Amino acid sequence: MRPVAFAALLGLVACSESVRFLPVSVQWMDWPAVVAAGDPFRTRLVVYQPCALIRGFEAAPSADASAVTFAPYFVADKEPVGCITNMSVASEMLVTWAIDTAGTAPGLSAVGDDVAATYEMRAVAPSCAACALLNSAPILIFGQVTASPGSAPPSSSRNAAGFVMAQRDAAGCLRIRPSGLPNPAAAIVVENPADTTAQWFGFVRGYIYEPAAPVCGESKAFHLVSRN
């Protein structure tokens, strides 16, 4: 083994003695609809953060011939902590809030010099009763991305999917916010709401884009493709 690789291995072993790795699921994801083949691309991720002494976060992306998969985890101190919630002192593994972060997906191959390829965008699925009804597999499909040969065509459209809280305001405008993000600025208006329900929670797929005319005074809107 070369000296540099051996030193890195020793560092990993030493680090693992004082830290632990806490896998988490993805609540929301949005990404470019079309990317240039071979170019890594930035993907927004919303994940719940465990109640622990966090040292770092890793999006852990991987890619194969058909999909990009994120299996994110936190690096945390092994020292246990107690978390105060509005109810009581919670266990250290209780997730208490979500964070808005990102991961860089690996570059993807096109079919050929003039033929684009389509890949699934996937991530570790949440473990909950409602999630099981949506998807029984450990991996949840959020949508698709197209790898275009040559440079990607300019576009402000981003595919998006995830678990959201939806709420309609007094003016009748419906906005969705990724689960766990309390900041009102995280909400985006839905241009084509499926019904007139005032409030709901669910899994949605669609895309974010800039409509020709503002929707509810907003320059960006979410176009709903499906809701579960």
- In order along the chain (228 residues), what is the average pLDDT of each group of 10 residues? 37 62 93 94 94 91 96 89 54 65 95 89 74 64 93 81 96 96 93 93 96 96 96
Write the single-letter amino acid at 41. F
pLDDT in tens, 162-216: 999 999 999 999 999 999 998 889 999 999 998 999 999 999 999 999 999 999 9
Strands (E), the chain: 19-23, 26-32, 34-36, 41-50, 54-58, 61-63, 67-70, 73-77, 83-84, 89-90, 95-105, 117-124, 139-148, 158-168, 174-178, 188-189, 199-209, 221-227
Note the maximum CA span of the chain: 66
Radius of gyration of the chain (CA): 20
Looking at the whole model, is its pTM more than 0.85? no
Residue in 227, 155, 156 with CA at minimum distance from that of residue 190: 227
CB environment 109-130: b (16+ within 10 A), e (fewer):
ebeeeeebbebebbbbbbeeee
Q: Decide: 63 and 37 in contact? Cβ < 8 Å.
A: no
Q: Where are the domains of the chain?
A: 3-155, 159-227
126 bridge partner residues: none
Go through the chain and tell me how many residues it has.
Answer: 228
Which residues have C-beta within 8 Å of that of residue 115, sequence separation ≥ 6? 149
Rounded to whole angstroms, the Cα distance separating 100 from 93 reads 19
